Amino acid sequence: MKTYFSDLRLISSAITVAVRLLSVFVILGLYELSIYILPKEIEFVSEIAVLTCLVFGVFGILPIQEKISGFLKSTFVSEYLSDDPGSSRLAHRRFDSEGLIKNVFPELVRLTNSNFGKLAILKNDLVHYELYTYAHKKQRKVNTFEGINPRAALLTYILNKRSGAMIGEPDQNKIINEDFVSLRANFILPFVFREKLFGFLAVSNIPKDNVRHELGFLAGKCALAVHNQILSSQIAENKKYRKELENAGKIRKFLESPEPPMVGDIKIDLLSREPGELLEFFQSPSGDFYFVFLRLSVTNAVSVLALCYILGTLYSSRLNGESKNVLQIKSLVEDNLKEISWTERYDLAAGMVEKETGKISLRFVGKKFKLFDASKPDRNLASIGWENIETPGKDALFLTWNDRNIISFQHLGIQP
C-alpha cells in the first residue's frame, strides 16, 4: 500500500470513485425504468429487469465508464501517472513529451518529498539534453550548457543504475560527485529504454525504498514517452524532406535545358554534371547567353532545395530583365545563398557568351576552377577576383572544376 498520496493521485482516485458511482446510479435508474416499462402481466418482471441491466451494464456501461474515466484523467491528470491501462495506452499513442514535462516532472519531485528538482530530456539530435528546473512549485527551462554535459561521465554511470543513484555511493569517483553537486542533487533517477538514456530526474531528497520502486516504474514510462516523441518527430521530418525532394526533382527536371545552346558560331558542349550541381543557360533579349555553374559542398535534401530556389530566382531575374551582366548574375546567386542562410562552402562560376563577338566573360568563386585552351592544357586562363574575358580560337576552351571538364566552347567558324 502506498504511504504517500500526492494531489494528482487524489484527483485520479476521486475521478475513479465518481465515475463508478455514476455508473451504479445509471444502472439503478435503468432497473427502475425496466420495471416501469415491462408489462405487469409478465411473470418474473424483476428477474427480467435485472438480466437486462446486467447485459446493458457489461456491454454498455463498463466501456463507457472506462472512456469517461480516461477522458477525465487525461484532462485533469497526466496519462503517465494513471494506473488505468487505457490511459497508459493513450499516453503511448500521443507521443507527448510536453505532458511529461508539465505534469509528470512536478509529480516525480513531489513523490520524493523534495522542494527542488531538475529534469533532463534528450533532444531530437540524440546527443544533447534540455534541462528543466522545479523549485517552490515553479517550473522553468534552462539552457543546456548550464546543466549536464552530453559527454559527462555521469551519464554513463547512471545508465547502469536503473533504480536510481545516490550521492556518495562507493563506486562514484570525484568527477561524478562534482556532477551531483552541480545539479544540487542527492538522488538521480535515469530514464532508460533499450539501453539508451533518454533523460533523468535529479532531486534534492533521497526517496524511501517503496517510493523508489514507484519512481522506477514511472521512469520507464518517461523513457518510452521521450523515445516515441523523438521517433515520431524523425518520421515526420523524413516524410517532409522526402516530399520536398520529390517536388524539387520535378521542378528541376522541368526547367533544365535538354541541350546546351548554340550562340552564333560558338558551340557549347555540356561534358559532365553530378548531384549537388546547378548548371543552367539563360538567353538575354540581345541574343547573348548567360550560364551559371553552382556546386554545393554537401548533397542532401536541403542542398537540392537550395539549388531549386536559386534556379527559380535566376529564371525570375531573367524574365524581369534584372540581370544585365556577369557581375549581377554572380551577386544575385550569392545574395540568395545568404538569404536562405547557406553556411556551407560553395563554388560558383558565372559567365556570358556574346552572340556578336563570340567573347566569353567569366567570374569565379572558389579555387577549383580552371579555364584552358585545348592546345595549352597546363595554362590557366582564369583568375579569381575579376572578370576574365577570352575568345575561342581554332582550339576549344574548356571550363573545369576540380580537374573535371564541365563545359567546352568552340568557334565553328574557324577551321583548325
pLDDT tens digits for range 182-237: 888 899 999 998 888 988 999 989 888 888 888 888 888 788 878 877 877 776 66
pLDDT tens digits for range 69-88: 777 776 666 655 555 555 55
Supply the pLDDT for residue 236: 66
d(CA 81, CA 110): 13
Burial of 353 (0-12, 13-18, 19+ CB in 10 A): buried
Cell numbers given for 392: 575561342
CA-wise closest residue to 362 among 293, 411, 301, 299: 293
pLDDT-derived band at 2 (thresholds 50, 70, 90) equals very low
The residue length of the chain stands at 416
pLDDT-derived band at 56 (thresholds 50, 70, 90) equals confident
Q: What is the pTM of this model?
A: 0.44
Residue 96 predicted with pLDDT over 80:
no
Residue that wins the pLDDT comparison between 160 and 73: 160
pLDDT tens digits for range 32-54: 888 888 777 777 778 888 888 88
- Residues 6 or more apart in contact with residue 386 via CB below 8 angstroms: 363
The mean predicted confidence, pLDDT, of the chain is 77
pLDDT-derived band at 1 (thresholds 50, 70, 90) equals very low
d(CA 311, CA 302): 14
Mean pLDDT of 117-123: 87
pLDDT tens digits for range 334-366: 888 888 878 788 889 988 888 777 788 888 888
Give the rounded percent of residues in the chain with a pLDDT score beyond 70. Answer: 79
pLDDT-derived band at 138 (thresholds 50, 70, 90) equals low
Beta bridge partners of 279: 293
pLDDT-derived band at 387 (thresholds 50, 70, 90) equals confident
Query: Which sign, positive or negative, has the C-alpha torsion 118, 123, 126, 129?
Result: negative
pLDDT tens digits for range 165-191: 888 888 888 888 888 888 888 999 999
Beta bridge partners of 348: 294, 365
Residue that wins the pLDDT comparison between 357 and 323: 357
SS3 of the chain:
CCCCCCHHHHHHHHHHHHHHHHHHHHHHHHHHHHHHHCCCCCCCHHHHHHHHHHHHHHHHHHHHHHHHHHHHHHHHCCHHHCCCHHHHHHHHHHCCHHHHHHHHHHHHHHHCCCCEEEEEEECCCCCCEEEEEEECCEEEEECHHHCCCCCCHHHHHHHCCCCCEECCCCCCCHHHHHHHHHCCCCEEEEEEECCEEEEEEEECCCCCHHHHHHHHHHHHHHHHHHHHHHHHHHHHHHHHHHHHHHHHHHHHHHHCCCCCCEECCEEEEECCCCCCEEEEEEECCCCCEEEEEEEECCCCHHHHHHHHHHHHHHHHHHHHCCCCCHHHHHHHHHHHHHHCCCCCCEEEEEEEECCCCCCEEEEEECCCEEEEECCECCCCCCCCCCCEEECCCCCCEEEEECCEEEEEEEECCCCC
> Domains of the chain by range and CATH?
8-76 (no CATH), 97-233 (3.30.450.40), 256-411 (3.60.40.10)
322 close to 376: Cβ distance less than 8 angstroms: no
Burial of 24 (0-12, 13-18, 19+ CB in 10 A): exposed
pLDDT tens digits for range 279-320: 888 777 777 788 888 988 877 767 777 887 888 888 777 777
